[in-house]
A and B are shown apart, each in its own frame.
Chain A
Amino acid sequence: MKRYLSNPLAIILFITPTLGLFTIFVFSSILKVFYYSFFDWNGVGTAVFTGVENYSKLFSSSTFATANANGFKFALVITVYQLFFASIFAIAVSDRWMPFRKFFRTAYFIPVVLSVTVVCQLWTSILDADNGLLNALLRAVGSDSRQNWLGSRYGAIYALAFVNAWQWMGYQFALIVAGIKSISTEYYEAAEIDGASATRAHWHVTIPLLKETYFFCLLVSVTGGIKAFTEIQIMTGGGPGTATHTLTYIMYRAAFVSHRYGYGLAAAAVLVLECLAVILLLNYLFRDREAKQLRRLAGGKP
């Protein structure tokens, strides 16, 4: 039997396609990001080693500061928006007596399955200053608070973050619904016997028991903010001026518009490191989540 399961030819045949594809396209790519970030390179000619020059140029450019601030704003908006609505709605539809719960689940989740370009194009039309739906709506109700949503230096990044938050709220919602499903009903029965209201029961039972779920929600939304790109590329092109540049957008422009690959890769490297820092920080903040999870599985009180 041991020989049967250790057939070397079979093992090599079975693992080669995955190892090949993964190494060629993903692993070697990440190595190249870090390696070529120390070179001056236009993508076709020979690369010239320039040490940390790309990084020092990047760190001293004002766009880099804008990009980091934008990444932070983007992450903040989508995290707060999504976690707030997703938590409330998930708790609501998890109540088995709630009318129309299937409808709400579908309604909240549908934007997730749409193409991001359709969503961006759609919201560009909605937010358009002259012909947009939102301004038309504001006009129709007689308000003169109409604005050039995507053309404002200070507001545009928030409008872009909103579009992302709108599309992906349903994703976090589905995560939390799944998390709630895994909580034993005994906890709620105990809370009811203790005379706790539904709101209090959720605050003291549901939310703390969803640590694992919230860990992942935060991971997705905070790194999502740092990585923000598609909304910017489609809806504002980084503008007005450089007001909505993000790290990924700096990288994209450097490589595919001005052909400064080394500089672009330095931005990509910083992007990877920032995401890694977020993962490590969240792991630290949620360090006891697995212990709790285990205790829960073992049937003990959390």
Chain B
Amino acid sequence: MKTSRKQSMGAKIFSICLWLYALVSLYPLLWMIFYSLKSNEEIFVSNPFGLPATWQWGNYVNAWTQYDVPLFFKNSLLVGAGTVLVTIFCALLFTFAISRLRWPFSRSVRTYVALGMFIPVQAIMIPVVQTVNQLGLLGTRWSLILPYAAINLSFATMVYFGFFQGIPKEMEEAACIDGANIYQTFLHIIAPLVSPATITIVIYVFLASWNEFILANVLVGGVAKLKTLPLGVLFFQGQFTTDWGSMGATMTIASIPAILVYVIFSEQVERAMTIGAAVKG
């Protein structure tokens, strides 16, 4: 589109709009980081909008030592890692079986799991809580890990399925002739070949579980020692006037890992988040 290289009046106004929206998109975040470094006096009276005049790093110390932030952080990390491991393990084995192995009904079984793409998490929240309770998982981290993994399986298997289809049949044939059994073939030949898909799924599932609120709220909302960061952040709800600085610090700490993952792997994150479009559409 070479035509737009000429900076006409219209193009200038257009570029101002782009900058304005970038401000709308980023300023709330900057404002949060600013106030995480301010005193209440600065936030409300002397300097609500700009950079902190005196940088109150103490807010971070407060958040870390007085508000259980390390615990929330650890829970989020363990639940995220657990969900990723369970999802990858199940989805990789399953997709190998439905796409490479020969057996009746493999198509129907694939469709069955794909149905999950159309089931809203909100709608199954009540039965999920009851199932978790019946299995005796309430009060453990598995109460989050297993439902999270189950919900992500439809997505993960569909992403893997697309990848598996691109691998030539000769891979298994060669491995078979070389005397490898089916398990060895899977582990040493096929699994490494689909690692780009694995990376996409790891990023997607980790971010989804790191930020998940709806199920966490009803499954561990009442269990202080298992709360993840999205629930921990809400601790400050209703007590705004007391300690805004520490609230800002907690929210900033909760956001840093996801933002870092995005800034480092931006291409992969965007692909991981939007690949759902291709598999759903």
Is there a chain A Cβ closer than 8 Å to B231's Cβ? yes
Check B119–A117 contact: CB distance below 8 A.
Answer: no
Check A118–B1 contact: CB distance below 8 A.
Answer: no
Is there a chain B Cβ closer than 8 Å to A207's Cβ? no
A118 CB contact (under 8 Å) in B91, B127, B251: B251
Contact flag A22-B153 (CB < 8 Å), given A117-B230, A121-B234: yes
Chain A: number of interface residues, binned into ranges: 35 or more
Chain A, residues 248-287, CB within 8 Å of chain B (1/0): the string is 1001100110000100110011011001100100000000
Check A125–B116 contact: CB distance below 8 A.
Answer: no
Check B119–A26 contact: CB distance below 8 A.
Answer: yes
Q: How far is the CB of B36 from chain A (nearest CB, A)?
A: 11
Which residues of A1-45 have CB atoms within 8 Å of chain B's CB atoms? 1-2, 4-8, 10-11, 13-15, 17-19, 21-22, 24-30, 32-33, 36, 43
Q: How far is the CB of B231 from chain A (nearest CB, A)?
A: 7
Is there a chain B Cβ closer than 8 Å to A72's Cβ? no
CB closest residue in chain A, given B27 = A133
Chain A, residues 85-116, CB within 8 Å of chain B (1/0): the string is 10011001001111000011111111111111
Contact flag A33-B22 (CB < 8 Å), given A11-B103, A24-B131: no
> Chain A contacts of B280 at CB under 8 A?
216, 219
Cα–Cα distance between A22 and B113 once the two chains are bound (Å): 7
Check B28–A18 contact: CB distance below 8 A.
Answer: no
Check B101–A33 contact: CB distance below 8 A.
Answer: no
Check B101–A11 contact: CB distance below 8 A.
Answer: yes
Which residues of A171-188 have CB atoms within 8 Å of chain B's CB atoms? 171, 174-175, 177-178, 188
Is there a chain B Cβ closer than 8 Å to A215's Cβ? yes
Is there a chain A Cβ closer than 8 Å to B262's Cβ? yes
> Chain B contacts of A95 at CB under 8 A?
1, 4
Chain B, residues 95-126, CB within 8 Å of chain A (1/0): the string is 01110111100000100110110111011111
> Chain B contacts of A10 at CB under 8 A?
97, 101, 182-183
Check A109–B270 contact: CB distance below 8 A.
Answer: yes
Contact flag A18-B91 (CB < 8 Å), given A110-B262, A117-B233, A275-B118: yes
Check A6–B90 contact: CB distance below 8 A.
Answer: no
Is there a chain A Cβ closer than 8 Å to B49's Cβ? yes
Check B120–A26 contact: CB distance below 8 A.
Answer: no
> Chain B contacts of A11 at CB under 8 A?
97, 101, 103
Cα–Cα distance between A26 and B150 once the two chains are bound (Å): 7
Check A174–B123 contact: CB distance below 8 A.
Answer: no
Check A213–B93 contact: CB distance below 8 A.
Answer: no
Main DSSP-derived SS at the A contact region: helix
Q: How many A-B pairs with Cβ below 8 Å?
A: 279
Is there a chain B Cβ closer than 8 Å to A227's Cβ? yes
CB closest residue in chain A, given B29 = A110
CB closest residue in chain A, given B267 = A105
Which residues of B225-249 have CB atoms within 8 Å of chain A's CB atoms? 229-231, 233-234, 236-237, 240-241, 244, 247
Is there a chain A Cβ closer than 8 Å to B12's Cβ? no
Check B115–A5 contact: CB distance below 8 A.
Answer: no
> Chain B contacts of A27 at CB under 8 A?
112, 115-116
Main DSSP-derived SS at the B contact region: helix
Of A5, A96, A140, A166, most B-chain CB atoms within 10 Å: A5
Check A171–B126 contact: CB distance below 8 A.
Answer: no
Check B90–A17 contact: CB distance below 8 A.
Answer: yes
Check B126–A111 contact: CB distance below 8 A.
Answer: no
Which residues of A225-257 have CB atoms within 8 Å of chain B's CB atoms? 227, 229-230, 233-234, 248, 251-252, 255-256
Check B97–A14 contact: CB distance below 8 A.
Answer: yes
A251 CB contact (under 8 Å) in B112, B122, B277: B122
Additional A-B contact list (10), CB under 8 Å, known A170-B25, A269-B123? A14-B94, A19-B94, A29-B127, A30-B119, A117-B234, A118-B230, A118-B233, A133-B49, A268-B122, A271-B123
List chain B positions with a Cβ less than 8 A from chain A: 1-5, 14, 17-18, 21-22, 24-26, 28-29, 31-32, 44, 48-49, 86, 89-91, 93-94, 96-98, 100-103, 109, 112-113, 115-116, 118-120, 122-128, 130-131, 135, 146-147, 149-151, 153-154, 157, 172-173, 176, 182-183, 186, 207, 210-211, 213-214, 217-218, 229-231, 233-234, 236-237, 240-241, 244, 247, 251, 254-255, 258-259, 261-263, 266, 269-271, 273-274, 277, 280-281
List chain A positions with a Cβ less than 8 A from chain B: 1-2, 4-8, 10-11, 13-15, 17-19, 21-22, 24-30, 32-33, 36, 43, 85, 88-89, 92, 95-98, 103-118, 121-126, 128, 131, 133, 136-137, 140, 166, 169-171, 174-175, 177-178, 188, 192, 197-198, 201, 212-213, 215-216, 219, 223, 227, 229-230, 233-234, 248, 251-252, 255-256, 261, 264-265, 268-269, 271-272, 275-276, 279
